[in-house]
Structure 1
Amino acid sequence: MAKIAFILLCHKDPEAIIRQAEMLTAAGDYMSIHFDARAKPEAFRQIREALADNPNVTFAKKRIKCGWGEWSLVQATLHAVEAAVDQFPRATHFYMLSGDCAPIKSARFAHDFLDARDVDYVESFDYFESDWIKTGMKEERLIYRHFFNERTQPKRFYAAFEAQKRLRLTREIPHDIQVQIGSQWWCLRRRTVEWIIDFTRRRRDVMRFFRTTWIPDETFFQTLVRHLVPETEIETRTLTFLMFTDYGMPVTFYNDHYDLLLSQDYLFARKISPESLELKRRLGALYNNTEAAFQISNEGRSLFKFLTGRGREGRRFAQRFWETESTLGRERELMIVVCKKWHVAKRLLDRIRQVTNLPAIEYLFNEEGTALPDLGGIQGTLAKRTRHRRALMRMLFDYYETDRLIVCMDPGSIDLLQDFCGDRSVTKLLEIQCHFTDSYLSGHAMRVGLAGEQTPSETLERLLPTIRGDMTHESDQIRDSEFENHLILRENDDAARYPDLLSRFLDIPPEKAQEIVALDHLFAD
């Protein structure tokens, strides 16, 4: 009978990882865990201590820092796979999972399914002939060397890329390798995994090549399986049910998707919302239910496509089933810097980025030209950003693979502040109250079109009290809303108070906060 060794790559939520490991191993299966070295040491210690007495759980012998699109994800997977091969000699299959995955069939069903055919399940499409990559780089992922992370070091990533293009520093793909591409959620037989491990030790040239490709977790295993395994023993599909929106972001499943998920022709599904504890509980109980029967209709993707199309035409008539919960996520923390002087907030954000490496975005709901990643068009205009603000924010959390995000907003955006502060996520406000000179207010009036170069000084003088009163009113509105976690940093306060405020706002040590505010020109106009 099949016995599965689950390969789990994860970086957060130790309690959920412990529950996931206990649930999947209760049926006699195994798990090998790689916990990102970037995560807090106490979180990893909590996982190890909780699972120390579980003989069906092991850990990668080496933990590394992982980043999206990097070789580090493949290397972490290899470390976890090698640990599983060594520790679990009875494992017949190795199944790639993340912390967002959950079973949608019972263990008995999964074992019978894998026993029925002696094949590997992996999406493996020809890299150049298939249309698996819809937009963006294709050949460039392979023929140029990528040393930097595109998400955390975009300037270096694209500078290195453009320099190689300019100097024509292309390279050859190893001559006997036909690169394949597909989903990283595979299930491979033990023999295949052992062949891959042996290959990685023999073919250093191939390893060197893939180490500097971009997004190798979509190509490495997919290519090696096709290179090592006869075509008749490869089923080009994943056993994990997942869908993507028009914006290229994964659809999230919630508590009321239980029946839909069970009817799909897959063994697992992702992404399961971290907040959907009831769904996770029911799926966990299902996995260890030996009597469960399944009626498979497999309509998930077609239903999603149908309803998406109707919504685009304005004919949906009902709430989309994949958007039944629109919260940012209870486990997420949104930190909002509110300041009328945009240059002051931007200056502070730039310093926060340098010191903490937290993702921070400037006035995305107020300034059309704010630098944002390509999220499929939802970020294209201010109107779209505002209309789909929660969806946009969720996508930004996902894009940066973080649970903590900083943004700037104008104090006049009271409706946005009320919306985000009413979410179930943790929302903090740092309101920066600046001193407004008449000179600054005059410039502000011109910038927003209330005055021009030819406006008489007498008219401007009569206008200034109104503008000043408007700014005071915006601040009063924020105060009257009685937002939780609302901190105020005033320009005319003693600067010695600033580190404490920033430490509380960012949840960082005081010395880090002191390093951030060591700017003698923070409020300079």
Structure 2
Amino acid sequence: MAKIAFILLTHKDPDGIIGQAQRLTATGDYVSIHFDARAKPADFEKIRTALADNPSVTFAAKRLKCGWGEWSLVAATLEAVKAAVEAFPEATHFYMLSGDCMQIKTAEFAHAFLDATDVDYIESFDFFASDWIKTGIKEERLIYRHFFNERTQSWLFYRSFELQKALGLTRAVPEDIQMMIGSQWWCLRRHTVEAVLAFCTERPDVMRFFRTTWIPDETFFQTIVRHVVPEKEIRTRTLTFLMFTDYGMPVTFYNDHYDLLLAQDFLFARKISADALELKQRLGELWTKTGVTFPISNEGRSLYKFLTGRGRIGRRFAPRFWETESSLGRERTLMMVVCKKWHVAKRLLEQIRLRTGIPAVEYLFHEEGGLPDLGGIERTVEKRNRHRRALVRMLFDYFRTDKLIICVDPADFDMMQDFVSDKATVRILEIECDFTDEYLIGHARRIGLAGDSTPQDVIDRLLPTIRFDLKFESDRMRDARFPMFVRMRESVPSEENAPPLARFLNIEPEVAQDIAATHYLFVD
């Protein structure tokens, strides 16, 4: 059975560290602690005294003063790892934690999870090819030498950086090393850790290189593990659930996140708020329980993105610069069918094609496929959206028509505004559907906001937000006062839907009535 040696890097909250170590070792696992040398000596002494009689706890032989973005964080980790390797010969896995991490599964579950597959878990993406770094400098982290702390010695850090740039004092990455990057919260097997430690001894040149890189805790283990372990034995993921805001700050969890955390496909989570005492107590008690089952829905990140997005008011309405000079053509008419229930819009287009012969394309900016060969611009949804006016203009040419119908999701308001601003005639037909709770739950699952095992109380809190979001999208279209905007509604008889449909398509009322009367049009 797996026996985990937790590598615990911390710098505060001695009582919390003591409790964390006692909980983690209560199930037969181990803890190796590095307590920052900058912290109060009395705090460290308190931890050592409280855990002195626990044979499953050890301490790094050397305490270092750690700083964010510095090599000292990696050095401290290596000190704790060395202590764990020496003190705990029965440890099979080494799991990196901080004082802000807490378990979101039982020890029983964690051991079974690690026993199931003989692999290492560490985020490890190509440093240069991936987009893991979202903002700030990238290759400059490596090719220049960083001697100062960016946060506490900002002036020196950037003066040194700019001076090296001005003098061209760059350096190369060691030739036989492929630089990787990822989260520092990893879980490695024993022989992997031993191979990393051996590498550190055998390659002083690589160690010298990393000592003056910036934020090496995101690159050192991620690179070396790839160098000493076959790719097939690495899972490029972390077992610690964490999220970041758009500003690069870690998301903090509070008392009401307990059920959400347990439903994620991870073993630990960070950061747990220092004030979330109830959450800490419940998670602390969880580790030693047995026989607990965990329905995994794993919707945490998509749910966070959705809910935070709804709280923002900044939205991009301006057309993209490369499309402003790309008109569809003054003599052409583009008709957009806007509907949240895609199957309803597709059924309507099927009837329109059948009865009018007007070329119609379904959700071309949302779904792959469905388009003729247009020279490559149609191959991916991303490419279609980048060049949407050009794509639609090519469809007019392909069908040899001056009328074209497309389907659009109500969320794509900027797309509607973009096309309405064109010289072409643009008409918009909104299909207003009724939404039951069952449909909204299915919608939440389809877009990743919920899973089959999402707790009901999470669903109950989510439904009003989704319903309001749909109403907001509809109201936004009406408030925009588009020049040609009409609506069909599920809640009214077909006789009331026929006139707006006739105006939208510019067809005879009788034909519009036949289309609107399609008996299965609104069936879910």
Superposition TM-score tier, normalisation by shorter sequence: 0.5 to 0.7
- Equivalent residue, structure 1, for 2:226: 226
Structure 2 counterpart of 1:135, one-letter code: T
Is 1:205 the counterpart of 2:205 in the alignment?
A: yes
Q: By how many angstroms is 1:280 displaced?
A: 1.1
Q: By how many angstroms is 1:140 displaced?
A: 0.3
What does residue range 41-440 of structure 1 map to in structure 2 within 5 Å? 41-313=41-313
Any idea what SS the aligned residue of 2:7 has?
strand
Q: Distance in 2 between matches of 1:138 and 1:245?
A: 20
Structure 2 counterpart of 1:222, one-letter code: Q
Out of 20-29 and 305-314, give the one that drifted further: 305-314
Structure 1 counterpart of 2:289, one-letter code: N
Any idea what SS the aligned residue of 1:94 has?
strand
Q: Distance in 1 between matches of 2:253 and 2:79?
A: 30
Q: By how many angstroms is 1:227 displaced?
A: 0.7
Q: Distance in 2 between matches of 1:133 and 1:59?
A: 33
- Equivalent residue, structure 1, for 2:517: none
Q: Distance in 2 between matches of 1:286 and 1:141?
A: 40
Any idea what SS the aligned residue of 2:311 has?
helix
- Equivalent residue, structure 1, for 2:10: 10
Report the TM-score, using the length of structure 2 for normalisation: 0.60
Q: Distance in 1 between matches of 2:195 and 2:77?
A: 15
Structure 2 counterpart of 1:273, one-letter code: S
Q: By how many angstroms is 1:310 displaced?
A: 1.0
Q: Distance in 2 between matches of 1:313 and 1:243?
A: 22
From the superposition, tell whether residues 314 and 147 of structure 1 become closer, same or farther in structure 2 (CA, over 3 Å): closer
Any idea what SS the aligned residue of 1:280 has?
helix
Any idea what SS the aligned residue of 1:97 has?
strand
- Equivalent residue, structure 2, for 1:19: 19
Structure 2, unmatched stretches of 5+, are: 316-524
Any idea what SS the aligned residue of 1:312 has?
coil
Report the TM-score, using the length of structure 1 for normalisation: 0.60
Report runs of 4+ in structure 1 exceeding 3 Å deviation. Answer: none
Q: By how many angstroms is 1:314 displaced?
A: 8.5
Q: By how many angstroms is 1:289 displaced?
A: 0.2
Q: Distance in 1 between matches of 2:299 and 2:195?
A: 36
Any idea what SS the aligned residue of 2:169 has?
coil
Deviations 1:286-345 (A, max 9, x none): 110012111100000010011111111489xxxxxxxxxxxxxxxxxxxxxxxxxxxxxx
Q: Distance in 1 between matches of 2:46 and 2:211?
A: 32
Structure 1 counterpart of 2:62, one-letter code: K
- Equivalent residue, structure 1, for 2:33: 33
Q: Distance in 1 between matches of 2:306 and 2:156?
A: 41
The CA RMSD measured in Å over matched residues stands at 1.0
Deviations 1:463-490 (A, max 9, x none): xxxxxxxxxxxxxxxxxxxxxxxxxxxx
How many residues align structurally? 315
Q: Distance in 2 between matches of 1:314 and 1:150?
A: 31
Q: By how many angstroms is 1:135 displaced?
A: 0.9
Q: Which has the larger radius of gyration?
A: 2
Q: Distance in 1 between matches of 2:118 and 2:166?
A: 48
Q: Distance in 1 between matches of 2:187 and 2:85?
A: 14
Q: Percent identity?
A: 77
Q: Distance in 1 between matches of 2:102 and 2:290?
A: 17
